[in-house]
Amino acid sequence: MIRRLVIAVGACVAVSVAGAAWLLPLGRETLQTPFADARKEAPWTVDDSRAAAVRELALRQARVWAPPPDPSTADLAANPRDPNGNLSGDLVRCRYLDGPHKGTTPKFDCVLPDGEIVKVKYGSTTEIQGEVVASRFLTALGFGADRMYLVHHLRCFGCLRNPYDAARLLDRLNLREAAQSLVSDNRYWDFEWAAVERRFDGREIISPDRPGWGWEELDRIDESRGANRAERDALRLVSLLIAHSDAKPSNQRLVCVADRDASDTCPRPFALIHDLGDTFGLNNTGLAQWKTFGVWKDRERCAVSMREFPDDRITFRDRYISEEGRQLLARQLRMLNDAQIEALFASTRVTHVSGSGNAEGCAQAMRDKIHEIVDGPPCPETADFATPPAF
């Protein structure tokens, strides 16, 4: 009996060690210049007793939109501007930054040569295409979004094979630290068509019990100091256009885009959609569901709903949209041309997702939705826009 137990334990240990060894990267490259130390952003430090009040004040004064450069000049086929050049070129290099296991999508943090920390999403997840398309689109229209770079070839030094799943497995076996210690500085693993995220400029404003912000909280913004009703409704309407369906509070972010003063008051708070991975229906049926999804639930009353993209954590309730909000978004959308829209889908590999069709078909679906917003009669005046419409 004891002998069998010893054999079983030995076999488990051998399998675990062999599995951990298989996860080690194979590539080797000696760098001419070592990576700089990771440069972490200083946190917005607020005493817990004041955090809720600081967040509430920032939310009441938050903007959600800023007039962009002429949308017709936006290059929707290109990555965002890359000031230091670390995310440009055929090969991007970074150093793996080990940390807590988060979320359900394959991703990891990585340090660029100058010490900047970025998030990398990789593999077959459709969140890569969703985030890249949606972030380029929202940015061109003047809404906030993280800067997403689609990188053809990323070389990660210190990365295990499939680092996200490897971390989960090794944590269960209590072997992550041991396996990571076996990866020398010159060992790497390559990733094809990864998405690299640089965060929207600004420090995050949080309260310990309130991550991000819920869509119902937009009604608490004081339009004499923050976003007016038209800007808030334009944000709601564009989120319907891209089908940002997983609208739980942690997928939106409240940031300060200017240094605070000594009183913990943020002079320029901004509310944006943070996680755009679950957009265009890509996590469900490719773009097939999005293509048939109408922007309006009731065009005559300008009522909208996200019920066709169910999510039990959603905070986007059924809503009326004001004519001012429709017109604000319509003005921006009219400036986009057909070539830009088709290039947006062709350049971001959306057509590689099963059920999405070709770039021309995707672009036509986008144009159809734009026409839904731009064309038609004015939205009626509604006494109480916060009252949910009855369907």
pLDDT at 290: 87
Please return the burial class of 379, using the count of CB atoms within 10 Å of its CB with bins 0-12, 13-18 and 19+: buried
pLDDT at 184: 85
Residues 165-198 have pLDDT tens digits of 888 888 888 888 888 888 888 899 999 999 999 9
> Percent of the chain scored above 90 by pLDDT?
56
Please return the burial class of 353, using the count of CB atoms within 10 Å of its CB with bins 0-12, 13-18 and 19+: buried
Domain locations in the chain as residue ranges: 50-374
Q: Which residues contact 164 (CB under 8 A, 6 or more apart)?
A: 101, 105, 106, 107, 108, 122, 123
pLDDT at 312: 57
Tokens of 337: 């041309």
The pLDDT mean for the chain works out to: 87
> Where does the pLDDT of residue 78 fall: very low under 50, low under 70, confident under 90, or very high at 90 and above?
very high
> Where does the pLDDT of residue 125 fall: very low under 50, low under 70, confident under 90, or very high at 90 and above?
confident
Report phi then psi at 39, rounded to 5: -105, 100
Cα→Cα distances 104→107, 214, 282, Å: 9, 21, 16
82 — alpha (psi -120 to 50), left (phi > 0) or beta?
Answer: beta
pLDDT at 114: 95
* 3-state DSSP of the chain: CHHHHHHHHHHHHHHHHHHHHHCCCCEECCCCCCCCCCECCCCCCCCHHHHHHHHHHHHHCCECECCCCCHHHCCCCCCCCCCCCCCCCCCEEEEEECCCCCCCCCEEEEECCCCEEEEEECCCCCHHHHHHHHHHHHHHHCECCCEEEEEEEEEEECCCCCHHHHHHHHHHHCCHHHHHHCCCCCEEEEEEEEEEEECCCCEECCECCECCCCHHHHHHCCCCCCCCHHHHHHHHHHHHHCCCCCCCHHHEEEEECCCCCCCCCCCCEEEEECCCCCCCCHHHHCEHHHHHCCCCCECCCCEECCCCCCCCCCCCCCEECCHHHHHHHHHHHHCCCHHHHHHHHHHCCHHHCCCCCCHHHHHHHHHHHHHHHHCCCCCCCCCCCCCCCCC
Residues 281-338 have pLDDT tens digits of 777 666 788 888 899 999 999 999 988 776 655 788 899 999 999 999 999 999 999 9
Report phi then psi at 173, rounded to 5: -90, 0
